[in-house]
Structure 1
């Protein structure tokens, strides 16, 4: 029975962020079809921020009407919405409507909002439900939550998106004596399976999560423990959690809400920090979440696509894999030194600066058209995500051990950073158009 509960807890965690993570890793294929093109990620960051309405409403209900809102009812609802949204996305993701004289991906944006609403709300409902079980199963749940980002990334790599070639085409000009006009265009090879199949796969993962939840909800209550035996500090303090780019009550804000939800009794007094140290800690929260959830995801297409669709695909997929790996490392290697975290943040900011610089130089970034350039941009995104993900977890651990109010302010600071980052980049990308797209095959860059 214990093994069965572990399997169910892991499967239940799959539904936490699988939809949003799946969208991000599938973007390299979607941007070539939808009319927004390279601007699509900047739209997604704003939509996911708006979806934080879900956890906000749940939190208000718990505060204003304690005991009235049942987690299992909310979970049934959001998982059902998630399954339906994934199915609808498979059928309507590429449908467009004319707004203000131009085609827009209205259906894609609306469905994405509901998917984001599901995933954001899961951060404040899944863990409170899991607290009905012994603490050992909480760790298994977090493994499943990490897999919600890992599995879509692996499947997207197996999909084989991103293989392109430059093709010469000729077109007859005038009569036959005038000769032919030659042009070069980018031709993307078909993936191993379509985007529709990928979205059905996401729906299947959501179904697995719902089935696991139904089974867990019907377990004999003899497996439940009293409140004081749930989630010891040693477990809750290292719970990693997955946060996705783009996203959201993702990142440390999601982690902090989970940690706060796990607290059924006052935390013990944590280590003392000076005012300057606390200011620095909250600055890290704001900056790291602003960079990972707003600033950089908005320009990922501009930094990677000039190197080819394959580089973009690898950077998106491997970054989703780097996140849970970094969180797992944080479980076994915890360094709470503010000096170390500051240095690690500076290193991650360096990778972020390189990514932003390449986006600003689009369509002619450094080493464009070379294997070295492609490798560097992919590794830069990989280490950017990994280093700052580690910082997110460790800062959350520090604040969690300090006090419950510190966790509340952690969530607020994380949300402020994510919101400021996405709101800042949206007009720069979509209104002022400071970033320029280009065709990998036709763009002529100076040597």
Structure 2
């Protein structure tokens, strides 16, 4: 294998969601300067789901007009569009236009829609393109996709986004006109510290990352050393013929498949899997993406903030690292067992159920006053992301062997799972405010005092790689 090809595949995958992930981590710096304020995340969630018109169009064209859509040309267009849109955001994100008598950030919303269309469409174009390379490079692509969330977060950390401190405003209230007695109330106000560099510079950085993705794509198409890495199999109706080794592996490991009706094969891909198995694989794929991209990220702050600032930031950071780590593990241990896939899905979902339970119990979850509670919630986030990210990579590897068409449907199901998760969580979190956090600024409060407060107010869920692309938020975390 070529190290250059691995690097290019990683950089190519990084461009898949770097723009939208970068926009989400920059929100604390953007929202104080625009008229929408903290309603912006909810607007962005709707725009991102509307952008699924891109993958829907590509999938329908592939289904009803196979071969009519030039996949390479589409990738050039969407990467170019993402580069230009990110660059223009640096100039126009603060510009407003009066609509129906109210100032609106029209440029920001329109450019965000274009970025969302780029990133959503990458799910059904980037993955099928990776069919042209050897299977090992698909895992490297997934590593790059994970880095697309980690890298903007690290840059935002250097920028100092969301760093705040409390200001103690003291008020003196006279009780009567004739008495000198008075009472003093202490009012803590959270104030964001100035960033080390502006949002404009950050957007130019995102544009540069998209440009790097474009260069990587060009080299993947035309560099001689990459051409030597192309698989030797030939394409037939969009499906690459599996090598004898892969066929033999599938036959010898049939006992690893939990559902295999006798003598029943599907016409999907190479026909290796039955229709029941195909449904099983895609159901797990949709479920895993719904949980990791939307459902749990939308309640991350509710599940972590009661345990303190350290637990919150550590869980967000380690979740971001766990995604590319799972892809790295899958590169060396690509176990294509459907039984293992189901077991890991159960384990990841179990960790997710604990996280959701703590979010429901917020602001007084289990072990809130214990160090063990902090440790368990952080470990739950790591296990949740690690297990389900590995499952998603293995499904990609399996479907890669089933051919080009299988990877197109893989991308479509990824977006479908995210869409269903967003439709489910948006009203629960943003409309009905089902989840509760401690009311008011609680930076100076001990954990015991937090649970003595009356539940109220909303705290937005902070997200990890790609997760911000689909979540709904309602306020600023004060903890």
Per the normalisation by structure 1, the TM-score is 0.73
Q: CA deviation at 1:205?
A: 0.8
Q: CA deviation at 1:286?
A: 3.5
**Which whole-Å CA distance do the structure 1 matches of 2:34 and 2:365 have between them?**
24
Matches within 5 A, 1:368-407: 374-398=374-398
Paired position in structure 1 for 2:469:
none
Matched, 1:199 2:206: no
Paired position in structure 2 for 1:347:
347
Q: CA deviation at 1:327?
A: 2.0
Matched, 1:292 2:292: yes
Matches within 5 A, 1:317-356: 317-356=317-356
Matched, 1:446 2:451: yes
Shift of the 301–266 alpha-carbon distance from structure 1 to 2, 3 Å rule, reads closer
Alignment deviations for residues 94-138 of structure 1 (CA, whole Å, 9 cap, x no partner)? 667788999876654433322121112223333555666677766
SS in 1 for 2:272: coil
Paired position in structure 2 for 1:249:
none
**Which whole-Å CA distance do the structure 2 matches of 1:381 and 1:36 have between them?**
31
Paired position in structure 2 for 1:56:
56
**Which whole-Å CA distance do the structure 2 matches of 1:200 and 1:432 have between them?**
37
Q: Contact 1:34 / 1:105 at 8 angstroms: preserved in 2?
A: yes
Shift of the 56–139 alpha-carbon distance from structure 1 to 2, 3 Å rule, reads same
Q: CA deviation at 1:223?
A: 3.5
Paired position in structure 2 for 1:246:
none
Paired position in structure 1 for 2:69:
69
Shift of the 130–357 alpha-carbon distance from structure 1 to 2, 3 Å rule, reads closer
**Which whole-Å CA distance do the structure 1 matches of 2:283 and 2:431 have between them?**
29
Matches within 5 A, 1:5-404: 7-27=7-27, 44-93=44-93, 107-129=107-129, 141=141, 143-173=143-173, 178=182, 181-217=185-221, 219=223, 223=227, 228=233, 267-270=269-272, 275=276, 280-307=280-307, 311-366=311-366, 374-398=374-398
**Which whole-Å CA distance do the structure 2 matches of 1:306 and 1:37 have between them?**
25
Q: Contact 2:123 / 2:411 at 8 angstroms: preserved in 1?
A: no
Alignment deviations for residues 211-264 of structure 1 (CA, whole Å, 9 cap, x no partner)? 333455554699476873688858xx9xxxxxxxxxxxxxxxxxxxxxxxxxxx
Report the more deviating stretch, 382-391 or 122-131: 122-131
SS in 2 for 1:270: coil
Q: Contact 2:142 / 2:327 at 8 angstroms: preserved in 1?
A: no
Paired position in structure 2 for 1:427:
427
Per the normalisation by structure 2, the TM-score is 0.68
Q: CA deviation at 1:51?
A: 1.8
Alignment deviations for residues 31-90 of structure 1 (CA, whole Å, 9 cap, x no partner)? 777777777656544433322211222233345555543334323322222122223334
**Which whole-Å CA distance do the structure 2 matches of 1:373 and 1:36 have between them?**
36
SS in 1 for 2:49: helix
**Which whole-Å CA distance do the structure 2 matches of 1:161 and 1:84 have between them?**
24
Q: CA RMSD in A?
A: 4.4
Q: Contact 2:140 / 2:331 at 8 angstroms: preserved in 1?
A: no
**Which whole-Å CA distance do the structure 1 matches of 2:307 and 2:33 have between them?**
19
Bigger radius of gyration among the two: 2
Q: Contact 1:21 / 1:148 at 8 angstroms: preserved in 2?
A: yes
**Which whole-Å CA distance do the structure 1 matches of 2:419 and 2:3 have between them?**
41
Report the more deviating stretch, 401-410 or 190-199: 401-410
Q: Contact 2:125 / 2:408 at 8 angstroms: preserved in 1?
A: no
Shift of the 33–321 alpha-carbon distance from structure 1 to 2, 3 Å rule, reads farther
Q: CA deviation at 1:314?
A: 4.2
SS in 1 for 2:450: coil
User: Which ranges of structure 1 fall in alignment gaps of 5 or more residues?
Assistant: 238-264
User: Which ranges of structure 2 fall in alignment gaps of 5 or more residues?
Assistant: 247-266, 453-479
Q: CA deviation at 1:430?
A: 2.4
Paired position in structure 2 for 1:242:
none
Q: Contact 1:301 / 1:312 at 8 angstroms: preserved in 2?
A: yes
Shift of the 350–110 alpha-carbon distance from structure 1 to 2, 3 Å rule, reads farther
**Which whole-Å CA distance do the structure 1 matches of 2:92 and 2:142 have between them?**
32
Alignment deviations for residues 129-157 of structure 1 (CA, whole Å, 9 cap, x no partner)? 56666777666655544433342233334
**Which whole-Å CA distance do the structure 2 matches of 1:206 and 1:149 have between them?**
13
**Which whole-Å CA distance do the structure 1 matches of 2:214 and 2:168 have between them?**
50
